[in-house]
Amino acid sequence: MSKSEQTSQQEYVNKCKKAASKGNVVAQNTLGFLYLNGQGIAQDYKEAVKWFRNAADKGYNEAQYNLAIMYKLGQGVEQNHPESIKWMQLAANQGHAEAQYNLGNMYYQGLAVMQDYEMAYMWWILAEENGAKDTEHNKSELAKKMTASQINNAELSAREW
């Protein structure tokens, strides 16, 4: 990286820190991402979690999703699947497609929740409506394990969501 690129990146980090410290949720989430990936700043998972949590507590769905992933993977925090589900659900309820897709996977696998094919199918429908990719394959594979009634219930739940 050239000297000018380093300077530019450091200026960006400083701007994010300033805006984040003033409560800007987008800047808080971005700063968390920079700490997570060590971009322009030393990688620090605990700092990433701190900034994701600040924005997530204010209802910012992207930060809620990022915090859910940190709990799911145990990065910067103890791995905690129920806490991951909590934040994933909050993001999904606001239409975050990746959170909806991941909730579908969790219900399909029974990861930290009771396995529930109808819920998995419903979350994948919602994720697809919000732009998630690969849901069609998941839905078609899952449909082979479901009754017509279960599929109808999942589709009705998605419509009523």
Q: Residues 71, 113: one domain?
A: no
Q: Residues 63, 22: one domain?
A: yes
User: Which pLDDT belongs to residue 3?
Assistant: 64
* Cα distance between residue 46 and residue 31, in whole Å: 12
* Cα distance between residue 148 and residue 78, in whole Å: 40
Query: Which of 94, 109, 138 is at the close of a domain?
Result: 94
* Cα distance between residue 86 and residue 140, in whole Å: 27
76 neighbors 48 (Cβ within 8 angstroms): yes
Q: Residues 2, 78: one domain?
A: yes
Q: Which helix (H) or strand (E) holds 99?
A: helix 97-109
CATH of residue 40: 1.25.40.10
CA 158 from chain center: how many Å?
19
**What is residue 91's three-state secondary structure?**
helix
Q: Residues 32, 80: one domain?
A: yes
Q: Residues 79, 128: one domain?
A: no
More confident of the two residues 101 and 112: 101
Q: Which of 82, 91, 95, 79 is nearest to 55 (CA)?
A: 91
Query: Which of 57, 74, 94 is at the close of a domain?
Result: 94
Query: Which of 75, 94, 113 is at the close of a domain?
Result: 94
**Residue range 16-60, pLDDT digits in tens:** 999 999 999 999 999 999 999 999 999 999 999 999 999 999 999
Q: Residues 80, 107: one domain?
A: no
Q: Residues 12, 68: one domain?
A: yes
Fill in the amino acid letter for 31. Answer: L
Q: Residues 46, 101: one domain?
A: no
Domain count of the chain? 2
* Cα distance between residue 55 and residue 82, in whole Å: 20
Instruction: Name the one residue in this structure whose structure tokens are 């808080």.
Output: 28
Q: Residues 111, 161: one domain?
A: yes
Q: Is the pTM of this model over 0.85?
A: yes
User: Which pLDDT belongs to residue 8?
Assistant: 84
Q: Work out the pLDDT band at 111, boundaries 50, 70, 90.
A: confident
Does residue 2 surpass a pLDDT of 90? Answer: no
Q: Residues 104, 89: one domain?
A: no
Q: Residues 40, 104: one domain?
A: no
* Cα distance between residue 95 and residue 103, in whole Å: 12
Query: What is the residue range of 89's domain?
Result: 1-94
**Residue range 116-154, pLDDT digits in tens:** 999 999 999 999 999 998 899 999 999 999 999 999 999
* Cα distance between residue 66 and residue 99, in whole Å: 9
Q: Residues 129, 156: one domain?
A: yes
